[in-house]
Each structure stands twice: as structure tokens, then as C-alpha cells.
Amino acid sequence: MRRCRFVASASLVAAISALGLSLFYGGRPLHPLVPQDLRDAPRSDDRLGRASRALEGAALELGGDFAPAQAPEVGASAQVAAGARSAGRADLSREFPDRPNRNQSDIGSCHDFATVALLEAAIFRKTGSHERLSEADIFLTRTLASEDAYKSFIQRGETSLREGNFLSTDLSYALRRGIATSLDYSEFYRLYDEFRDAETPELKRLNSRLQRFLPYHRNDPGFAEAKREFYADDLADTSLRPKVVDKVHALWPGLEGEREATAKLLSGVVQEQYPAGGPPDWRQADASACAEKAKRLEGILRGYLDAGIPMGIDADIGGMDSWKNADSGIAAHGFLFVGYEASSDGTVLFKTRNSWAGLNPDFKASDLCRVRSLHWVLTPAEQASRR
């Protein structure tokens, strides 16, 4: 069973949905493909403040106003847009260095694969060359080497590693520091899988010892912070994590130089995001609300894809028939839309770039109510084209 614990809380989703489409970022209006009546709706500083507070906990960022009908005029992206688009279809597969058959295995790292795919495509649009980036490097440094993998243990005493993360924060992290190129995911997986198997019983042992101690101190002043420090201190003393991180850097000694090189390649590239809004839970939404949301997102997605911009997708895929390996318990999954086909009967299928060893199911436009947010990156030329 493949997992991707890419989770947003119900309260966050509800907060975003309640704010609807009147959100805007950095003083710029929402995406130009949003219907005019919604773009003209009153916006107030108070609503923006509420938006910022609602999004703060998940480090989500709102999207900008790139005009996708205007394909970039310079660099590789103009050629991509011109060659990828025809009546009723778009195909951006040329932007990627390989076929969509990469495999996250049973690690909750779909957000890393989606991040890498978006940035590989951006490098191609910016430079005209393909660069293979390492998903394992983001997972190693963003999740494993930091405290993120242990948040559930430190905060709640859970004895499994926390692997999921947010696509928006992964993108921000990768753009800021670059991504290595030589750290092979399958080789890293073997190291990580051994570490994970060994670390889980260690976390159980730590938690058992701490639970014997903590009940006697629940009424102490500052108990919550003391408990967190207690977990963190014991974890720092006993965790196998530093050994794994050190071993990776010993086996792949040039990682830091590779990160610096890709950071230069990505210089000037910016990330943007669009909260999908609409019903907070598609399972409980009425058909008309879901249809409205799906139609709105379809227009935005097709606009960007027509301009040669792949789209990162955060969606609930649990129980979808076309995603045959999908576990109905998956909270959300991160992947890309890299094209679409519109048939004469009005059916629209979005083409995906997924991280399940070649399983890239089409995504029906009618299922877009499941989408939580859209993510994309723009090259300097693409940013200039919208001004």
C-alpha cells in the first residue's frame, strides 16, 4: 500500500473555504481567470487579516495573477507552450527529464516528488535544458534531518515517524536552498527503511518510560512545555537520525555543492498557490456546489496548462476508482497535472504526473471538487509577461 500523509486540518480547510475567492496576496488581485464578478467583490484589510491568520499554521501561500493566455515570449517556455497546445488539449511532458514512472514507495513523500517535478519543469522553461533533481534530498533535509519527522512523537507521544508535509513549504524550502542531484531515491530508501524499522521500537521504548514519569507531574506549572522538552531531550540523546544523515553525506559527499548549483539555476523562480475554496468536505457537499467549484478550477487549470505551466495538485483521492492503488484512508495526495484532453462531448481529462511507479491515472474535471489547492512556479520571463 502506498501512502502519502499530506494532511491539512479540517479547521484549516474550513477557514480557507469560508474566505472563498475574495482572498488576495501581496496586494495583487486573484487569478485573472476567476470570474469577473468574484474578482470585483469587496475586499477588506480585515478579510486579508483573517486569511493570513487562517493560513499561518500551515505556511500556505496565496496565488498571484499570472495571465496564462499569454505564453512566455523568451526562453524554452515559449517553445513549450507553442508546441504543447492544440485545440482542446495540452501536453507538457517535454518539460520533464524522464517518463512519469518515479516511485515514492511506502514513504509519505508525494510532496517531495511534486516539488521536484515542478522545479525540473521550471528549469527547462528557464534554460532549455533538463536537470534531474533528487526527491530524497528534500526528504532528508526538510523532514528527516529537522525535527519535522518527530513532531507527532514530541507533541503527542505517537511512536511512528511523521513523513507527510506541505507542498507549499517544500517549494519554499527548495527554492531557498537548492536541491541535490546525485542522491538516488532508491538507494536512500534502503538506508531510510532500515532506520525507520530500528527507530520505531526505540520511540516506543522512550514513550513507555516517559509515560511512567509524566503522570506525576501533570499539575506542575509549565507542564506542557516541560513535557515537550522532556520528549525532545530524550530524543536527542537516543535517536538514530544523526547517524543516518551523516551516513548519507559520507556516501554522497558533493550534495552541498549540488544544492548551491541548482539554487543558481532556480534564481528568480517564484512559487504561487491558489486555495481551491468551495465545500470544505466534498463528501458532504451538494452536487451544485461541487459542480461550481469544478468548473471554476477547470478554467484556471486549462489556462495555466495552455501557457506551458504544470500545476501541482493537493487533492483527496481516497476511493477514486481510477486510482486503483489509492487507499480510501489517504487524507490527501500531492501530484501534478501536466496536460489535458477535451473530447467533443465536453468531457475533460487532466493528465497526471504521479509518484507511483508509472501509475498516472487521468483525473476527470468533474472530480475537481476533491482538490484542496493548486501550486505552481513561474520563471522570471513568465513573471514579466503578466505585468
Is 12 within 8 Å of 54 (Cβ atoms)?
A: yes
- Residue 199's pLDDT is what? 85
Residue numbers of the chain with a pLDDT score lower than 70: 1-86, 236-238, 279-280, 324-331
In a domain, 188, yes or no: no
Whole domain around residue 348: which residue ranges? 10-146+164-175+254-385
- Residue 370's pLDDT is what? 92
Q: What is the C-alpha separation between 307 and 94, in angstroms, rounded?
A: 14
In a domain, 191, yes or no: no
List of residues 6+ apart from 271 with CB closer than 8 A: 61, 168, 171, 172, 175, 375, 376, 377
Classify strands 270-275 and 311-315 as parallel, antiparallel or unpaired.
unpaired
Q: Which three cell numbers stand for residue 174?
A: 527548495
In a domain, 220, yes or no: no
Q: pLDDT tens for residues 202-239?
A: 888 888 877 777 777 777 777 777 777 777 777 766 67
Provide the domain count of the chain.
1
Q: Which three cell numbers stand for residue 111?
A: 510532496
In a domain, 215, yes or no: no
In a domain, 299, yes or no: yes
- Residue 55's pLDDT is what? 33
In a domain, 187, yes or no: no
Is 183 within 8 Å of 136 (Cβ atoms)?
A: yes
Residue 208, classified by CB atoms within 10 Å of its CB into exposed (0-12), middle (13-18) or buried (19+), is exposed
In a domain, 98, yes or no: yes
Task: State the CATH number of the domain containing residue 134.
Answer: 3.90.70.10
In a domain, 154, yes or no: no
Q: Which three cell numbers stand for residue 269?
A: 523562480
Q: Whole-number mean pLDDT of the chain?
A: 77
With CA atoms as reference, report the closest residue to 151 among 218, 247, 57, 220.
57
- Residue 36's pLDDT is what? 36
**Is residue 179 classed as helix, strand or coil in its secondary structure?**
coil
Q: What is the C-alpha separation between 54 and 340, in angstroms, rounded?
A: 32
